[in-house]
Amino acid sequence: MADRGVGDDLLHLYPALHAYARYLTRNTHDAEDLVQEAFVRCLGRRRISEIENLEAFVRRVITNEYLQMMRRTLRLRPSQRVETTFRDELQDVLDDNGLQSLLGVLTPRERVAVVNRYYLDLSEAATATEMGCTVGTVKTLNSRALTKLRKNLSAPIPFRIQPSNDRG
């Protein structure tokens, strides 16, 4: 059984981990399930108290669970797929100006790469470690994801620099 301090640490990390899972799943309900499953897996480990970076470890468990969930969903025939897009008033508030909806155009691995790289502000190397792949794979996933996101933006990017007509 895990010691009481680790349980308290996990509870303290819950808001950040839930936000991470919410960006991956794009809905509150699945995010809660992912975080809960990650906590169960972590607390079931014998030496959980010896892990140096508990947040990174639990994020990795969440990432693995998310990718596994997506693989299971994709293996089902279309008529067997469970609808995972729950919408409620709270979800609309949490949608961050359409960011979660926009992330929906990405594949699961692209979404993990983008969320790790740009939401969590991890380096490419740290993102690769988190995902269990090479830095080159992270670069490829992010490049493809950013291309898709640019194509799906409904408004132009406000911070893009417009060339000046003054050559004076």
What's this model's pTM, rounded to 2 decimal places? 0.58
CATH topology of domain 1-78: Rna Polymerase Sigma Factor; Chain: A (1.10.1740)
- CATH 1.10.10.10 range(s) for the chain read 95-154
Backbone angles phi, psi at 86, to 5 degrees: -85, 130
The predicted-structure confidence for 4-43, as pLDDT tens digits, reads as follows: 577 788 889 999 999 999 988 888 888 999 999 998 888 8
Which residue ranges does the chain devote to CATH 1.10.1740.10? 1-78
CATH class of 95-154: mainly alpha
What's the rounded Cα separation, in Å, for the pair 44 and 65? 15
160 burial level (CB within 10 Å; 0-12, 13-18, 19+): exposed
The residue type found at 161 is I
Tokens 């639990």 sit at which residue?
A: 58
Q: State the pLDDT at residue 32.
A: 92
On whether the CB atoms of residues 67 and 112 are closer than 8 A, the answer is yes
pLDDT in tens, 78-132: 544 444 443 343 344 345 556 667 788 889 899 889 888 888 888 999 899 888 8
Confidence (pLDDT) at 41: 87
112, amino acid identity: V
